[in-house]
């Protein structure tokens, strides 16, 4: 593709494509034409090291040969079939997820598919309402993100996603999350977690706090939707006991726990599910994204038997044409087998520690990096003013543009860097590299972030500090 072709495509996009189905963070939007491993390639063949991997949908690297082969095999055997008929990989994948959940949490359950994370969140809302005789009120966290369909955006903290569309249902009650770096000063992460739980538990102290009827022992709220690590909220890792303490309050008041693993699932944090780090059992667990390594929009949920058995939740409770499509389920099955073979439980924490050490080193050289943290290969770096605290969105936006210009340098050759912006103040680099990233690529990543930050500071001059 020539530069002229590229320019024509951008002009046509501006004229014919809705902007509403994308986010258009960079201007002009970037066109890529190839991908492999940890890299995207532009029309000139310049490689871009991708540190976000399609918001963690491509955990196993672009064009992963084993997963691409599984897709091709399925295309040659049973590429399509209506979802009222059965096919082997739907059943095998469900069994594998349900047996794994039962082994981990001692609870039988079932798996339910849909297409797209938000759609599976919608399904979880239906299961919750159905099992609680129509209770529609939910708790969710400040900073939480669960998608942009109508139901999912009602439990997503940002009003921005609801503002222009009115209300189609009840908006969640949003509860403080222990975002320690920006929390009250002088207390530990653990203490801040305890404070947030105490604040939540207070709601149940008296009927006059608005959510609890002590006479019958019933809460007005059906469930609490959580992300174990906040994804879009900036890869915030809560203290280790936080969810155990939360679960105690929920159990005492008959409130279900819905765990959203759409972004942090499939070994992103070193475990199949990120909630496994926190020692609590979900009632419903929702997954998507890396289930198919981004090759098919399949998503799904696991729910415990009491909530999803066919008597309570019969055929037709939710249905969509492409649910449990065989290309998606064959990929999901291969992803789970690959995950076991690759021993990500061992390699991801090691690679994560290497990456985090590199970020900490970089932090020593740039006072604009206010906080770094991570769990496995879900890592964060907050870009701030020179005080190391005040959020500096402009500086990070400049870094993103510099990375996407593809004019950084590695061994005398041009190279680009794909960074994603997240966080409550849109000043956090949310890092989700390929789980197969090599140690050399991790060192390269640190070097390229260094180059981007150095150039961005120079470009913005005094305004950066």
Ligand X SMILES: Cc1ncc(COP(=O)(O)O)c(C=O)c1O
By CB under 6 A, name the binding residues for ligand X. 55, 116-118, 121, 145-147, 227, 231-232, 260, 262-263, 288
Q: How far is the CB of 373 from ligand X (least distance, A)?
A: 18
| Closest to ligand X by CB, 421 or 464 | 421
CA neighbor of 339 nearest in space, from 287, 405, 396: 287
Exposed / middle / buried, residue 276 (Cβ in 10 Å: 0-12, 13-18, 19+) = middle
| Closest to ligand X by CB, 41 or 161 | 161
Q: How far is the CB of 314 from ligand X (least distance, A)?
A: 25
| Closest to ligand X by CB, 147 or 282 | 147
In angstroms, the CA 417 to CA 326 distance is: 34
Residues in the chain, overall count: 465
Task: Tell me the sheet residues that pair with 378.
Answer: 375
What Cα–Cα distance (Å) separates residue 241 from each residue in 100, 197, 255, 349? Answer: 23, 10, 19, 20
| Closest to ligand X by CB, 232 or 392 | 232
| Closest to ligand X by CB, 203 or 375 | 375
| Closest to ligand X by CB, 143 or 231 | 231
The dihedral formed by the CA atoms of 371, 372, 373 and 376, expressed in degrees to the nearest 10: 160
Q: How far is the CB of 56 from ligand X (least distance, A)?
A: 7
Q: Sign of torsion, CA 154 158 159 164?
A: negative
Reduced to 3 states (helix: H, G, I; strand: E, B; else coil), residue 22 is coil
| Closest to ligand X by CB, 117 or 358 | 117
Are 378 and 269 within 8 A, CB to CB? Answer: yes
Parallel, antiparallel or unpaired: strands 137-141 and 221-226: parallel
Helices (H), 325-429: 326-342, 344-365, 393-405
| Residue 157: both structure tokens together | 């903290």
Q: How far is the CB of 149 from ligand X (least distance, A)?
A: 7
The conformational region for residue 176 under phi > 0 = left, psi -120 to 50 = alpha, else beta, is: beta
| Residue 63: both structure tokens together | 């064009």
Residue with tokens 């870009």: 383
Q: How far is the CB of 315 from ligand X (least distance, A)?
A: 24
Q: How far is the CB of 169 from ligand X (least distance, A)?
A: 17
Q: Closest residue to ligand X, Cβ-based?
A: 117
| Closest to ligand X by CB, 212 or 267 | 267
Q: How far is the CB of 426 from ligand X (least distance, A)?
A: 15
Q: How far is the CB of 8 from ligand X (least distance, A)?
A: 29
């Amino acid at each position: 593709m020539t530069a002229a072709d590229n320019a024509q495509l951008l002009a046509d996009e501006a004229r014919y494509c809705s902007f509403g189905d994308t986010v258009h963070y960079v201007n002009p939007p970037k066109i890529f034409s190839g991908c492999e491993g940890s890299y995207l390639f532009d029309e000139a063949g310049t490689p871009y090291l991708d540190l976000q991997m399609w918001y963690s949908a491509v955990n196993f690297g672009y064009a992963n040969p084993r997963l691409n082969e599984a897709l091709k095999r399925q295309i040659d055997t049973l590429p399509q079939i209506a979802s009222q008929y059965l096919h082997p990989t739907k059943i095998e994948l469900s069994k594998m997820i349900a047996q794994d959940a039962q082994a981990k949490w001692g609870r039988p359950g079932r798996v339910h598919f849909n297409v797209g994370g938000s759609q599976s969140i919608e399904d979880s809302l239906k299961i919750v309402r159905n099992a609680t005789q129509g209770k529609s009120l939910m708790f969710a966290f400040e900073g939480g993100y669960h998608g942009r369909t109508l139901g999912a955006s009602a439990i997503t903290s940002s009003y921005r996603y609801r503002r222009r569309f009115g209300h189609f249902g009840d908006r969640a009650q949003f509860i403080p999350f222990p975002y320690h770096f920006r929390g009250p000063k002088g207390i530990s992460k653990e203490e801040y977690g305890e404070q947030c739980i105490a604040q939540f538990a207070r709601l149940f102290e008296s009927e006059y706090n608005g959510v609890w009827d002590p006479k019958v022992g019933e809460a007005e709220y059906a469930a609490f939707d959580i992300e174990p690590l906040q994804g879009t909220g900036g890869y915030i890792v809560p203290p280790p006991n936080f969810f155990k303490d939360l679960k105690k309050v929920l159990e005492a008041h008959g409130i279900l726990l819905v765990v959203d693993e759409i972004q942090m699932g499939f070994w992103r944090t070193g475990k199949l599910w990120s909630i496994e780090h926190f020692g609590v059992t979900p009632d419903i667990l929702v997954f998507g994204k890396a289930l198919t390594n981004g090759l098919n929009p399949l998503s799904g949920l696991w729910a415990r038997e009491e909530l999803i058995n066919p008597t309570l939740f019969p055929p037709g409770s939710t249905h969509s044409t492409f649910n449990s499509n065989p290309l998606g389920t064959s990929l999901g099955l291969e992803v789970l087998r690959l995950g076991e073979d690759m021993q990500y439980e061992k390699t991801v924490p090691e690679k994560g520690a290497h990456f985090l050490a590199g970020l900490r080193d970089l932090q020593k050289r740039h006072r604009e990096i206010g906080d770094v943290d991570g769990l496995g290969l879900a890592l964060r770096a907050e870009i701030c003013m020179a005080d190391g605290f005040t959020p500096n969105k402009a500086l990070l936006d400049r870094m993103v543009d510099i990375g996407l210009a593809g004019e950084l340098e590695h061994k005398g050759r041009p190279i680009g860097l794909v960074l994603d912006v997240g966080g409550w103040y849109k000043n956090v680099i949310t890092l989700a590299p390929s789980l197969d990233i090599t140690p050399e690529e991790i060192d390269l990543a640190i070097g390229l972030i260094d180059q981007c930050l150095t150039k961005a500071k120079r470009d913005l001059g005094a305004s950066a500090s």
